[in-house]
Structure 1
Amino acid sequence: MTENVLERYFRLKEHGTTVRQEVVGGLVTFMTMAYIIVVNPAILEAAGMPFGPAMVATILSAIFGTAIMGIYANRPFAIAPYMGENAFVAYTVVGVLGYSWQTALGAVFISGVLLTLLTLTKWRSVMTEAVPNNLKISFAVGIGFFITFIGLVNSGIVVLGTEDAPVHVGALNTAPVALAVFGVLLIAILMIRKVKGAILFGILATAVIAFLTGIAAPPEAIYSMPPDVSAVFLQLDIFGALTWGFFAVILTMFTMDFLDTMGTLIGASAKAGFLDENGNLPEIEKPFLADSLATVFGAVAGTTTTGTFVESAAGIEAGGRTGLTALVVAALFGLGLFFSPLFGAIPAAATGPALIIVGLLMMAPIKGLDFQDYAESIPAFAVIVLMSFTYNLGVGLCAGFVLFPLFKIVQGKMEDVKPAAWMLFVLCLLFFIFYPY
């Protein structure tokens, strides 16, 4: 009975999926992004926020945003506090600029409200539809490279090098890195053999090996009560952020969230086959609204900018196609409130390989790029490489939006630039001008 209700509400048959397939998709997405439960509060700790309450705020914002994404938008995308934005608050806004974390959360709240208004007035979708097709393709490819780079770094296969060689191959002769390589090979073999749920099985098998061999410490506890969230809940300082000196911070937060979500939604949707013949995502206002409301809620709860996670692509690859996948992720985050020691123990040697493989799968649209038209291909190339090499989706996306109109003017085809694309050009130009480098 319950299964029939789920099939009807989420229109599973219409999307060619099943309850089992959606559950597997949700499990895979959660497993690849569960690290945020402990990583986000660890970063925010550097801003002076207490770890335990920040962890609860992280989970609550993920539950809130992902549940709205599943129930209202019926899309298989998961929402949680963004990596990059959290570091921007902790190390730049608080660490370098000297503002309090309460004021930083006020800026997060303001940017979330602005995004919500932009979504409700439909300007957000208008600006998204103004993005040329080659840039849309570059979003998916760039995010694929970015996900792969995250997986390589997290698992230790790639490490920081020297000034002359910024990155270097990791110590392949050490057990954790060797296990990560094994995880990549295992998932690849399972996929070649067309095993359903290959990514999930690869994560679980690699994690079990890590625990049994002592490569990773097994969880000290399975269950624990969540800490009191009151130390960060409703502690945002909105009026402190409404100053001219905070303009650059709010602009940066707004632009990064706007573009990161746009790029992730289009990139992941391209992989899932959700885009229409014009390369647009139908009813994109719904996932946009889930994203912006989650940012507002997250600031109130006590965490930084939230948004659609690129790791959602892992669940999509595992078969997730509807909001039921997102609802499974939200439920697992709910369990994370009480089972955070268990989820937090899953090592990067197990989740990193999944991200590496997903990155490969997201590169498929690159065959649609028009490499012969340099006014189209160079902005797309800038998006792809700068997303990964700056470790910042927003920088790559902004580079594409600035270069595309300029090159079209040089090419003598300014008519190819839609009016809303000029709005993105101005927004991104301001981003580069006021970004607190």
Structure 2
Amino acid sequence: MIKKYFQIEELNTSVKQELIAGTTTFVTMAYIIIVNPKILEVAGIPFGPSMVATILSAFFGTLAMGLYAKRPFAIAPYMGENAFIAYTVVKVLGYSWQAALGAIFIGGVFFTIITALNIRSWLANSIPESLKIAFAVGIGFFLTFIGLNETSIIQLGVTGAPVHVGDFRNPQVILAILSFLVISFLMIKKVNGSILIGIILISLLGFVLHVSPLPEKIVSMPPDISPIFLKLDIAGALSWGFFAVILTVFVMDFVDTMGTLIGVSYKAGLLDENGNLPEIEKPMMCDALATVVGSLLGTTTSGAYIESATGIEAGGKSGLTAVVTAFLFLIALFFAPFFASIPPYSYGSALIIVGLLMISPISKINFNDLEEVIPAFVTIVLMSFTYNLGIGMTAGFVLYPIFKIVNGKFKDIKLGMWILFLFSALFYIFYPY
């Protein structure tokens, strides 16, 4: 029954392989259970209820992705969007977190409508191959940058030298490097579940050596979600002053989800002969509904996670991978202290490895065609070094048509790309820097 529903045999996978892949995806993104509520706490959203909202929105979106879209992608509240809401919308602009959630709800409803009308999939299919490749490569470098930062292999520097190498005498850095090597050796030997095995082994080693503390609790009852459940302020978000916020939330979620789906699918070989993801409207609908549900629960914009690439590299090909990840999120409601104890030096190294694997499509870019290369290059660089996928993707949407026009190839630009150009240009004009 399971094999038939998820087309396990047709996709040349197995239930065991999907279980390993789903677990790998969850372990590499379990940090969101703690990190998202910690960031939103800055906006005044209480930590405990926010943690429950994070888990439930991830469960809902990822389960929908597995059962409806039948894709091996996980959904959870986005990093970047949460910081934008907490630090910019609430702390700098002075809006309430309730109004911010109202803006997210409005964006989610709008996403649902245009997805149902197949407008989002039409726009996605208008993106040229060079930018699709750039999305995959940019995600790879972004994952690598995240991994290097999480493991403290690189650290914040000073003015003029914004990053510098970490302290290689630090036990956590040593374990991070060891984790990288273990996962690499296992992958070279083609051991199934290499990433998950490496994460577990190094985590256990860190506990044994007392580099990281064991969790004080393994099991705990989830906190009460009522302080934030259905507390969004939709009316407050409909004021003219909130236009820039809604536009920014809309564009960031739109390009993040589209770019992540296309980039990860490109590397996983899920795109068709035309370079499009078949039935892309289904995973897009899952992220739209997850955003609506998440805002009602009390958390920020949700969408497809780049950490899904770890599960795909572990062999995940079907929706069963996402279903496994979803139920692990649900279990985490009662085991949050345990999952939160997985140290960054374990999963961070896995992100570095996956980043390496994600950049391989760059070889398919024709570096002699500068009108294609320059927008792709800017996309990759800004996705990575601004620590924001949306910034890089929107830059690519702005530059691509401009370079085509300069070279007299106006007819090469599809109508959908002009719409993406317009939204991206508005994004940079109204973005609350």
TM-score > 0.5 by shorter chain: yes
- 1:70-107, Cα deviation, whole Å (9 max, x unpaired): 00000000000000000000000001000000000000
How far the C-alpha of 1:370 sits from its partner, in A, is 1.3
| 2:349 aligned residue (337, 344, 353) | 353
Establish whether residue 263 from structure 1 lines up as the match of residue 259 from structure 2. Answer: yes
Establish whether residue 46 from structure 1 lines up as the match of residue 46 from structure 2. Answer: no
How far the C-alpha of 1:164 sits from its partner, in A, is 1.1
Establish whether residue 152 from structure 1 lines up as the match of residue 148 from structure 2. Answer: yes
How far the C-alpha of 1:272 sits from its partner, in A, is 1.4
Establish whether residue 207 from structure 1 lines up as the match of residue 210 from structure 2. Answer: no
How many equivalent pairs are there? 433
Establish whether residue 198 from structure 1 lines up as the match of residue 232 from structure 2. Answer: no
Establish whether residue 135 from structure 1 lines up as the match of residue 131 from structure 2. Answer: yes
Establish whether residue 11 from structure 1 lines up as the match of residue 11 from structure 2. Answer: no
Establish whether residue 231 from structure 1 lines up as the match of residue 231 from structure 2. Answer: no
Contiguous gaps of at least 5 residues in structure 1: none
Establish whether residue 402 from structure 1 lines up as the match of residue 393 from structure 2. Answer: no
Structure 1 CA distance for aligned equivalents of residues 189 and 60 of structure 2: 37
Establish whether residue 420 from structure 1 lines up as the match of residue 413 from structure 2. Answer: no
Aligned residue number for residue 246 of structure 2 = 250
- 1:187-225, Cα deviation, whole Å (9 max, x unpaired): 011111111110000000010011111111111111000
Structure 2 CA distance for aligned equivalents of residues 193 and 12 of structure 1: 25
- Superposed, which structure 2 residues align to 1:39-188 within 5 Å? 39-188=35-184
RMSD across aligned C-alpha pairs, in angstroms?
0.5
SS in 2 for 1:95: helix
SS in 2 for 1:319: coil
- 1:359-415, Cα deviation, whole Å (9 max, x unpaired): 000011001111111110000001100001000000000000000000000000011
Amino acid at match of 1:179: L
- 1:55-84, Cα deviation, whole Å (9 max, x unpaired): 000000000000000000000000000000
How far the C-alpha of 1:172 sits from its partner, in A, is 1.0
Structure 2 CA distance for aligned equivalents of residues 49 and 419 of structure 1: 41
How far the C-alpha of 1:271 sits from its partner, in A, is 1.6
SS in 1 for 2:158: coil
Structure 2 CA distance for aligned equivalents of residues 321 and 40 of structure 1: 27
- 1:204-255, Cα deviation, whole Å (9 max, x unpaired): 0010011111111111111000000001100000010001100000000000
Structure 1 CA distance for aligned equivalents of residues 411 and 10 of structure 2: 38
| 1:321 aligned residue (307, 317, 320) | 317
Structure 1 CA distance for aligned equivalents of residues 423 and 323 of structure 2: 33
Structure 1 CA distance for aligned equivalents of residues 69 and 129 of structure 2: 24
Amino acid at match of 1:142: G
Amino acid at match of 2:318: T
Aligned residue number for residue 364 of structure 1 = 360
Structure 1 CA distance for aligned equivalents of residues 132 and 267 of structure 2: 12
How far the C-alpha of 1:14 sits from its partner, in A, is 1.0
Establish whether residue 431 from structure 1 lines up as the match of residue 431 from structure 2. Answer: no
Structure 1 CA distance for aligned equivalents of residues 187 and 329 of structure 2: 27
- TM superposition outliers: structure 1 runs of 4+ over 6 Å: none
Structure 1 CA distance for aligned equivalents of residues 42 and 276 of structure 2: 39
SS in 2 for 1:276: coil
- 1:257-288, Cα deviation, whole Å (9 max, x unpaired): 00000111011111211100111000000000
Structure 2 CA distance for aligned equivalents of residues 401 and 421 of structure 1: 7
Percentage of matched positions with identical amino acids: 62
Amino acid at match of 1:420: G
Aligned residue number for residue 286 of structure 1 = 282
